[in-house]
Amino acid sequence: MKKIWAIVWKDIIIELRTKELFSSMFVFALLIILIFSFTFGFSVEFIPVAAPGILWVAFTFAGVLGLSRSFAIEKEWNSILGLLISPIDRSYIFLGKMIGNMIFVFIVEAIILQIFVLFFNYNLFVNLPSLLLVILLGTVGFVSVGTLFSAMAVNTKLREVLLPVLLFPIIVPVIVSSVKLIGVILSGKPIAKAGSSLQILILFDIIFLVICTVIFEYVIEE
């Protein structure tokens, strides 16, 4: 739908102008990898086991930063009301916001992957297509719920601080499955070794994409 794309495009232009989202997400991700490299850096045996976990910590923590900003810009001048008085389905507003968030998070994830390879001197790209697929599925999971929750969090006294509190317990299935899957991919074993992780991940994505899209209107209306 053109209207959804209009919203995505708007968010991209705003971000290109201010670069707020990006710089904070990037710096934060860098710091996380840095800290982990101090802890694990010199013991090469740990990396294959720890890599999926480190990656997902970096993805989600940096991602949450970006998610918070997404609705903060709508709240700043109450511009969201401009969206609400126009004849656009509330679910389209959600999808527009979510797609915008996914784009930003993907870019940061790509950068994180590169930084990881650099700092840990470890080749992540043994099976690139599978790796990217899992990261894609995992990101869809946490960005969909994250977009919904950030619309709520921005309206609270705690603002951005509340978002991780709400989000992390909910995305446990995403993190557990993705970590397991990436672990299996990096060690070159066939995906079947990860048990039903892939199915669980896909199930989560489908269920919550639908639910969040539908339930968004209750969050956004007066």
3-state SS record for 109-157: HHHHHHHHHHHHCCCCHHHHHHHHHHHHHHHHHHHHHHHHHHHHHCCCC
Each residue of 6-44: b (16+ CB within 10 Å) or e? ebbeebeeebeeeeebbeebbebbbebbeebbeebeeee
- Work out whether 206 is an interface residue with another protein (CB under 8 A): no
* Binding letters toward another protein, positions 8-47, x by CB under 8 A: --x--xx--xx-----------------------------
Q: In terms of CB distance, is 63 or 183 closer to another protein?
A: 183
- Collapse the DSSP code of 97 into the 3-class scheme (helix H, G, I; strand E, B; otherwise coil) and give the result: helix
Q: Is 204 an interacting residue with respect to another protein (CB under 8 A)?
A: yes
Question: CA 157 to CA 153: how far, in whole Å?
Answer: 8
- 103 Cβ contact partners less than 8 Å away, ≥ 6 residues apart: 8, 12
Give the C-alpha separation, 213 to 93, whole Å: 9
Q: Determine, following the binding rule CB under 8 A, whether residue 188 of this chain makes contact with another protein.
A: no
Selected range binding another protein among 36-44, 52-60, 124-132, 189-197, rule: CB under 8 A: 189-197
Minimum distance between the CB of residue 168 and another protein, rounded to whole angstroms?
A: 8
**Neighbouring C-beta atoms of residue 205, cutoff 10 Å:** 19
- CB nearer to another protein: give 5 or 125: 5
User: CB under 8 Å to 37, separation ≥6 — which residues?
Assistant: 119, 120
Which window, 30-38, 48-56, 100-108, 174-182, contacts another protein (CB under 8 A)? Answer: 174-182
Q: What is the DSSP letter of 42?
A: T
CA dihedral over 41, 47, 50, 55, signed as positive or negative: positive
Q: Which stretch binds another protein (CB under 8 A): 61-69, 100-108, 132-140, 175-183?
A: 175-183
Residues 145/62, Cβ–Cβ less than 8 Å:
no
Q: From the list 69, 142, 180, 182, which residue makes contact with another protein (rule: CB under 8 A)?
A: 180
By CB under 8 A, what part of segment 58-77 binds another protein?
Answer: 73, 76-77
Member of 95, 135, 137, 145 binding another protein (CB under 8 A): 145
Closest separation between CB of residue 43 and another protein, Å? 23
Interface with another protein, residue 194, by CB under 8 A: yes
Q: Give 77's DSSP letter.
A: T
Site residues (CB under 8 A) for another protein? 2-3, 6, 10, 13-14, 17-18, 73, 76-79, 81-89, 145, 148-149, 152, 155-158, 162, 165-166, 169-170, 172-173, 176-177, 180, 194-197, 200, 203-204, 207-208, 211-212, 215, 218-219, 221-222
